Structure 1
Amino acid sequence: MYLGLDLGTSGLKGVLIDDKGDVVAQESVSLSVNSPHPTWSEQDPLSWWQACIDVLGLLGQRVDLGQLKAIGISGQMHGATLLDKQGDVLRPCILWNDGRSQAQCSALMANYPSLTERSGNLAMPGFTAPKVQWVREHEPEIFAQIAYVLLPKDYLVYRLTGVLSTDCSDAAGTLWLNPATRQWDDELLAATGLTQANMPTVFEGCDVIGHVSDKASKQLGLPKLPVVAGGGDNAAGAVGMGVTHAGQGLLSLGTSGVYFVVSESHKANPDNTVHAFCHALPNRWHQMGVTLSAANSLSWLAKLVDGSVSSLLEELERSGKKQTSVIFLPYLSGERTPHNDPDVQGQFIGLRNSTDLPEMTLAVLEGVAFSLLDCQNALSRAGSEVNDLSLIGGGARSSLWRQILANVLNKRMIYRDGGDVGPGLGAARLALLGEKRQAGGEIEALISQYCALPEVLASHQPNTQLSDYYQDKYALYQAFFAATKELNHALAAL
């Protein structure tokens, strides 16, 4: 068996697959996020390690972990995990959806005009480099102690193996990697006062970087297995869904929403606020649009009404409502594509005395779909087009939401076996590839054999009868954003 660990924002999942790549078991443990100030988002890295202990304990109750052959890890991207010389955590990790570093982004773009050319991306508050620059300016005593900067999943790899490593898919989201060369860039590191001595070694996602250490083996009850570099959550999710070749596309409905298209080369297009990163497999890249609050928007509404996401969806389906005049702008954590604006805020528009909860739920589902249509349009301008999209993430379990996405994006939506654990499945596949490669397998042949498209569980075609409704509503969605943008910024300044 092969183990994939997926470190998300809201929890850690463990996914076990067999030699054929089929899922045989999975477990998860919840995580919490701290927001000590508006737009801030932090997590304690020690909670990730405890979650790892707990997930392996749960899996160990179901299967013999002594049968494991290799481990891979996927994880939330961009988080700044800062360690001292002893490898101890210096402060809570600043997460991907933290918006505090807008001023640092502006300064980096102004002072280092080669940044976009070398990194292939705009400086955005979600990325790692401006977060570290914020620490440099606001917490100089912490910055002075930084020996190593790791991404969240790489901290777990470090705790498992004692090796400081990363993979190029995750590292591309820091702004310190040159995605064309797939290695750290000295000039980009220098912009935030760092050198390659502060950085982990960059590997391909399926490269074995080390083995479970003696200490971790005793603590976790694991054999001294090989561990691969792993991948950023979206790239690993693509591996899990067999989205590995140019022109294939993926839609992720996790805490954030991601529109992911594979490319055969590095295709930077920062002018359209499109991310251009490395894939987790060799000789592959991808373009990506991101909306910061996808399934999180639905979770937020459920929490607000003291309910659950499943109860909201069930009540909406019982109501039979397919249309609503209510509009929701899902900018609860600011927005990336296409606005790159951490201060824009979420809104309900069109509420009346007669508005009920099913209408608000429907508006949330539509609003997230419209934000992903923004991503699709940006990707289209950047030269990325797909005919259909594989779906992953917790939100993808909803057939109602999948159909709304098909209608809004005018694309066929495909929900595949393992879509609910896509990144964890991809991490396990990377572990399988790494172990087989060490045994002498050729990587492209292994990818073809073990990274096939999983079985289709459901397919959704666009409902053309609702085309006018969605087109008109999307136009209003865009108009309300434009009309309230400056008022949003004024509110954020209060």
Structure 2
Amino acid sequence: MADETLLGIDIGTTAVKAILFSASGSVLAQFSTAYETARSKNGFVEQDPETWIQLVKDILSRFNSEQDLSGLKAIGITSQVNTHVFVDKDGKALAPAIVWQDGRCDDEARELDERIPAERRIKWWGAPRPIDASHALARMLWMSRHHPEVWQKTRWVMLPKDYCLQRLTGAAVTDPISNLGLVNMYLDYIPELLDCVPGAADRVVPLADMSDIAETVKDELDCAGVPVAVGTMDAWAGMFGTGIPGKGTAMYLSGTSEILGIVSPKAVPTPGVLTFPKYRDTTVHAGPTQSGGASFLWCSQLLGRDPYDLAKLVEGMDFDKPAPLFLPHLQGERAPIWDIRSRGTLLGIDAATGPAEFTRAVFEGVACSAAWLLERLEQSADTQPEIINCGGGGFRSDIWNQIRADILGRRLQRTAVRDPGILGAAGIAAVAAGQQPDLATAFSNLVQFDKVYEPNQARQPRYIELVKLYKRSYEAACETNHALVSLFE
């Protein structure tokens, strides 16, 4: 009899990735394929949903041909969120997916945001959450106004994981956690909010628990009959995949963006961060930035140098010598400032600035953005964790990880699995299929760590001042950056 296995799939911002795990969490096989994101000067950021599902089908076909999948017990899918697909009654995409980085709906977002008083936000969400350009409702309002022919044909407005889930199984279902901003503290849609856009309530996807079985894979596809879990968003899948809760209370995920979160039963309404509804006695305070690993990729492409080589240059630097200050707002910024019109800013360049200094500035700037977010999260959660579990592709570089530990002033412990979100998706699927009794048990068994980064106390005073300068630099450059964006609209 074949060994029991689990399959996790992540529909990420830059690639579809999958890992086949043993029942104990060992990696048996991996798959990753990048895909294109279309970007235009008017702020549009789009992807082709057909590419996602075709790559998912390729994964199932490849694993089915190369591995013994007779012991495959369940499939879990996670994905980027605040990326939206407008889908017709037959389950086909009517337009390119609007990616979370897309800023086209800024006017609609501000219009909706101004209509919701602060006390209603606290009642609905437990925090003064803004409606920004990535909010599903802003996207719906924009589509209804600019492409009414698409809006009229739209049956569902779906997240990437739910679109692929529906194409794989035929089930239209989503989880409430992934729909933060549309659901209230009781994990139900908010009728009063949906009524702000006529027709929105008829186009949201039915809700189910993340650890429920959505359906099984269709008969005509590879892995036919295998149960597929409802699953959840990348941040929560990554949280589980880093061992939170159970093996810690705080997480730091790094991929295209940086995502930080703290689990705490306390909740202090705090501007700029997201307080999720309580899920199975777990209250998560979290926030995503706009550009983390994406900033390093941009730096690498701009300099025409391999990322590994650039990281080695930073390792050899004297950190007592200055480097520029970088604001990584290459496509605006999300938490904690939620300013889609902010732009990347580089300060303090001199004649000695070269590739090493520029790269270090990117590393430190991204870490400063995380430190600003962590400060707000600690306020929201009313706690200061000493250890942060971390993982994701942006944590491959030891020198960058050390810089993060130094600037945050926290011990970072890195997961052995480089893609904790995929492990999280697989673990949720294991619970859905009855292979594990509950999420806490599942991830206590699956999660391991491979390295710990201790903060360098000698660098603390300078980095505390650098974070202060980072905040002041954003405020100082804000008006100019906004004006530059407006100048070319």
Sort the TM-score into its range (normalised by shorter chain): over 0.9
- Which residue number in structure 2 is paired with residue 84 of structure 1? 88
- Provide the C-alpha distance between the structure 2 equivalents of 1:346 and 1:233, rounded to a whole number of angstroms: 25
User: Which residue of 120, 123, 127 corresponds with 1:117?
Assistant: 123
Q: 1:268 to 1:93 in 2, by over 3 A?
A: farther
Change (3 A) 1:268 1:29: farther
Cα deviation per residue 1:269-324 (whole Å; 9 max; x = unaligned)? 3x421112247x64423111221000000000111122232222123224455653
Corresponding residue SS for 2:310: helix
* 2: CA distance, partners of 1:25 / 1:457: 19
Task: Give the Cα–Cα distance (whole angstroms) in 2 for the partners of residues 163 and 22 of structure 1.
Answer: 30
Q: Distance in 1 between matches of 2:404 and 2:97?
A: 33
Matched, 1:379 2:387: no
Match of 2:32 among 22, 28, 35: 28
Asked whether the 8 Å contact 1:29–1:54 carries over to 2, the reply is no
CA deviation after TM superposition for structure 1 residue 112, in Å: 3.2
Please state whether the residue corresponding to 1:307 is helix, strand or coil.
coil
**TM-aligned CA deviation for residue 246 of structure 1:** 10
Instruction: Give the SS at the match of 1:193.
Output: coil
Superposed CA offset, 1:375-408 (max 9, x none): 0111122124322111111111111111111111
Do structure 1's residue 126 and structure 2's residue 119 form an aligned pair? no
Corresponding residue for 1:263?
A: 264
Per the TM alignment, residue 476 of structure 1 is displaced from its structure 2 partner at its CA by 1.9
Change (3 A) 1:321 1:385: closer
Q: Which residue of 2 aligns with 1:468?
A: 461
Q: Provide the aligned C-alpha RMSD in A.
A: 2.0
Q: Which residue of 2 aligns with 1:348?
A: 346
CA deviations on 1:116-140 (whole Å, 9 max, x unpaired) are: 5324422122222212212122222
Change beyond 3 A, Cα 1:177–1:349: same
- Please point out which of 289, 292, 306 is paired with 1:291: 289
Q: Which residue of 1 aligns with 2:7?
A: 3
Instruction: Map 1:67-78 to 2 at 5 A.
Output: 67-78=71-82
Paired position in structure 1 for 2:109:
105
Shift of 1:334: 0.5
Q: Which secondary structure state, in structure 1, belongs to the residue aligned with residue 174 of structure 2?
A: strand
2:198 equivalent in structure 1: 193
Partner of 2:481: 488
Counterparts of 1:360 and 1:41, CA distance in 2: 26
Candidates 359, 365, 370, aligned match of 1:361: 359
Partner of 1:205: 210
Q: Which one of 13, 16, 21 corresponds to residue 17 of structure 1?
A: 21
Q: Summarize deviations over 1:61-107 as a string: whole Å, max 9, x none.
A: 54123331111101001111101122221111111111222222221
Hey, what's the Cα distance between the residues in 1 that align with 2:77 and 2:106? 30
Task: Report what 2:274 is aligned to.
Answer: 275
Instruction: Say whether the 8 Å CA contact 1:45–1:92 is kept in structure 2.
Output: yes
Please state if 1:151 is matched with 2:159: yes
Unaligned runs of 5+ in 2: none
Pairing 1:196-235 to 2, within 5 Å after superposition? 196-215=201-220, 217=221, 221-235=222-236
Cα separation, 1, equivalents of 2:397 and 2:73: 34
The SS at the match of 1:251 is strand
Give the alignment partner of residue 138 of structure 1, picking from 132, 146, 160: 146
Mapped partners of 1:247, 1:127: distance in 2: 30
Residues 158 and 260 of structure 1, relative CA distance in 2, 3 Å threshold: same
Partner of 1:163: 171
After superposing the two structures, state which structure 1 stretch, 424-433 or 477-486, moved more. 477-486
Q: Which amino acid aligns with 1:289?
A: G
TM-score, normalised relative to structure 1? 0.92
Deviation digits for residues 227-261 of structure 1 (CA, Å, limit 9, x no counterpart): 11111001001111211259711101110111111
Alpha carbons of structure 1 residues 246 and 78: separation in structure 2 relative to 1, 3 Å: farther
Whether contact under 8 Å (1:206, 1:229) holds in the other structure is: yes
What residue in structure 1 maps to residue 406 of structure 2? 407
Paired with 1:273 and 1:203, the residues of 2 have a C-alpha distance of 28
- Would you say the 8 A contact 1:186–1:195 is kept in 2? no
User: For residues 442 and 137 of structure 1, do their structure 2 counterparts lie closer, same or farther at Cα, with a shift above 3 Å needed?
Assistant: same
Structure 1 unaligned regions, length at least 5: none
1:169-188 alignment runs, 5 A limit: 169-172=177-180, 175-178=181-184, 180-188=185-193
Specify the alignment match of 1:93 in structure 2.
Answer: 97
Q: Does the CA-based 8 Å contact 2:125-2:277 persist in structure 1?
A: no
- Conserved 8 A contact 1:4-1:16: yes
Among residues 306, 309, 325, which one is paired with 1:308 in the alignment? 306
Kindly indicate whether the alpha-carbon contact (under 8 Å) linking 1:2 and 1:431 is maintained by their aligned counterparts in 2. Answer: yes
Structure 1 CA distance for aligned equivalents of residues 444 and 132 of structure 2: 32
Separation in 1, partners of 2:351, 2:264: 49
Identity rate, percent: 29
Is the CA contact (8 Å cut-off) linking 1:80 and 1:149 kept in structure 2? Answer: yes
Larger displacement relative to structure 2 (291-300 or 206-215): 206-215
The Cα of 1:451 is off from its aligned counterpart by 3.7
Instruction: State whether residues 91 and 166 of structure 2, in contact with CA within 8 Å, keep that contact through their aligned partners in structure 1.
Output: no
- Once residues 151 and 18 of structure 1 are traced to their aligned partners in structure 2, the CA distance between those partners, rounded to angstroms, is 28
Say if 1:408 and 1:81 are closer, same or farther in 2 by CA, change over 3 A.
same
**1:182 counterpart SS class:** coil
User: Quick one: which amino acid aligns to residue 123 of structure 2?
Assistant: E
**Residue 245 of structure 1 contacts residue 262 of structure 1 at CA under 8 Å; is this kept in 2?**
no
In 1, distance between residues paired with 2:81 and 2:476? 32
Matched positions, count = 478
